[in-house]
Chain A
């Protein structure tokens, strides 16, 4: 029986659809022309100019700071929230809690941005990095909680009981058994939180204060007045960073899997 070609064609089309725009962006970042329409020779000039744009680097630094901090805080809050949701799933309080966790996923971003801004203004909080972190944590908790909750669903809690039987304190069992078992889920959740934080424009735009411009805000405003090839060059650098990170983390998890198999 001959296999259908159809799945290959669909896969190919999807891959092209996903990666061709990125490829064009990378190629254009080396285009000497400011306008992507015509190829005017290979050049590193956008990269050189990028390194002379302090505003972009300040924005990149802000973004990275915020993302790391958000990842850390939302991992702790999201994981504890998932533990509570799993452990007491049947109670009415936890069902309500689940709804609360779920809501930020379905609330439109623009609504969340403007309502957070109004809340901060009403509470008299000075807008700045702190308000961005709070806003990002607000929606990142949900993603972390749901990812970790998924992991907990196939978690066999009898091994925790076994650990306790063998004399581990509650803290010891958490640290030595629960957290290592959850680690892949935590890593995935952390990556999602990090990505969402780096990526977010709408909510960030509203809650950002003076002096707290992040990379997405900067990039959006550059589309009107700035040079777009600079954005291409910056995106290419970010892509390189992302691919390296993914590659390293895959290698890491592979070696963990091997260790586990031995």
Chain B
């Protein structure tokens, strides 16, 4: 008997839900314009979105993705409806080459004059024709101040046999081979087989001192003291530093990877004007500073720098000295040449 009551109940709920679903699909009279943003999760301060909505009398809907590749596959297959997207720079180049992006109208973006020219000098899209830089993160070295004696900001730290078994490098072929290339003084976008072969030998030498190659657990590992020195992203390390003040972050003097997520507008966007307004809003120095402090990444906005608090401004691993910044590079999409890296990485993984 009770099962039947239950089924009847379930049926009732389902009918109600069906009604709601239909209403939510068919709804939408002359409501304010809606801007759809497709981005990483927790990648903008919520209060700023509210402010943007009020100022522009619109509604902002945020959807999230977890990897550039998945986002690309989805849009490439024809998914539309998103206006502003925040892919990483190498993905922006790929999307642009596939004609998936709208060229930016600089008349609608007066605030891009605030963008840091030092960053633009190394950016992939130097003229901001399709993308405006949003947030930067550097890949560098984090270590425990009390446990690592004589720390020096150099990739050579991974040669230190006294730290054997307590160090971790990223399980990412471009990042880790890139570190070795930089250590040797080459470009980290090198496609020269000789340079790559030398970099392979360096990584193999380092590998003997590493506990493992790893992308996520290294944060937990250094927070708990299991690892003493790790290769990692500044954004991640800033979060861990909030819990363990013994952790320091440094950018090696040979230079390293800077990654940037950019603001772009999808070709299929129906709210191009509003999308431009959003990008412009994000580059307002006050907004950029507030956003950076909240999400703990650095927005490359020159006029926002003086407004940032000391914890970001004073951190030499986040706020790079000009001479180190000049040696850093953005990972470029290498297209078919990527196979060179895959081969070297396979040999590193298989090697002793």
Which A residues form the contact surface with B (CB < 8 A)?
33-38, 40, 55, 65, 68-69, 71-72, 114, 117-118, 121-122, 126-130, 133, 179-180, 183-184, 186-187, 190, 205-206, 208-213, 217-218, 220-227, 252-253, 255-256, 259
Is A222 a contact partner of B42 (Cβ separation < 8 A)? yes
Of chain A, the residue at the smallest CB distance from B226 is: A37
Task: Indicate if the CB atoms of A128 and B25 lie closer than 8 Å.
Answer: yes
> Smallest Cβ distance from A150 to chain B, in angstroms?
18
- If A69-B21, A71-B14, A259-B1 touch, whether A35 touches B243 (CB-CB below 8 Å) is yes
Chain A: which residue is nearest B25 at the CB level? A130
* A136 to B60 CA separation, bound complex (whole angstroms): 27
Instruction: For A127, list chain B residues within 8 Å (CB).
Output: 79-81
**A38-B223, A117-B79, A210-B61 known, 11 other contacts, Cβ within 8 Å:** A33-B223, A36-B220, A38-B224, A40-B243, A114-B77, A127-B80, A129-B21, A179-B7, A211-B63, A222-B42, A222-B64
Chain A residues, Cβ within 8 Å of B43:
225
Q: How far is the CB of B23 from chain A (nearest CB, A)?
A: 11
Which residues of B, 18-43, contact A by the 8 Å Cβ criterion?
18, 20-21, 24-25, 34, 36, 38, 40-43
Please name the 3 residue pairs, one residue from A and one from B, whose CB atoms are nearest each other, closest first.
Answer: A37-B224, A121-B78, A72-B14
Taking CB as reference atom, which chain B residue is nearest A222?
Answer: B41
Contact between B61 and A33 (Cβ–Cβ < 8 Å)?
no
Q: Give the A-binding residues of B (Cβ under 8 A).
A: 1-4, 6-7, 10-11, 13-14, 17-18, 20-21, 24-25, 34, 36, 38, 40-43, 61-67, 70, 73-74, 77-82, 216, 219-221, 223-226, 235, 239-240, 242-243, 295
Interface of A is mostly: helix
Please tell me if the beta carbons of B3 and A35 are within 8 angstroms of each other in the complex. no
Residues of A within 8 A of B36 (CB): 210-211
Whether B220 contacts A35 by the Cβ 8 Å rule is: yes
The reply to whether B10 and A33 contact each other, CB–CB distance below 8 Å, is no
A35-B224, A218-B64, A255-B2 given as contacts; is B70 within 8 A of A205 (CB)? yes
Q: Which residues of B contact A206 (CB under 8 A)?
A: 73-74, 77, 79
Minimum C-beta distance from B91 to chain A (A): 14
Residues of chain B contacted by A221 (CB below 8 angstroms) = 40-41, 64-66
Residue of A33, A65, A256 near B17 (CB, 8 A) is A65
Docked pose: A211 CA to B66 CA in angstroms: 16
Min C-beta distance of A34 to chain B, whole Å: 6
Measured between beta carbons, the chain A residues less than 8 angstroms from B13 are 68
- Residue ID in chain B nearest A217 by CB atoms: B64
Chain A's closest residue to B35 (CB) is A210
Query: Are B223 and A37 touching (Cβ within 8 A)?
Result: yes
Can you give 15 A-B contacts (C-beta < 8 A)?
A: A33-B223, A38-B223, A68-B17, A71-B14, A72-B10, A121-B80, A122-B78, A184-B3, A209-B81, A217-B63, A221-B40, A222-B41, A225-B235, A226-B42, A255-B2
Tell me, in angstroms, the Cα distance from A255 to B3 when the chains sit together: 10
- Provided the pairs A38-B223, A221-B66 are in contact, do residues A126 and B243 lie with their beta carbons within 8 angstroms? no
Q: Is the CB of A225 within 8 A of B41?
A: yes
Task: Name the A residues within 8 Å of B40 (CB-CB).
Answer: 221, 224-225
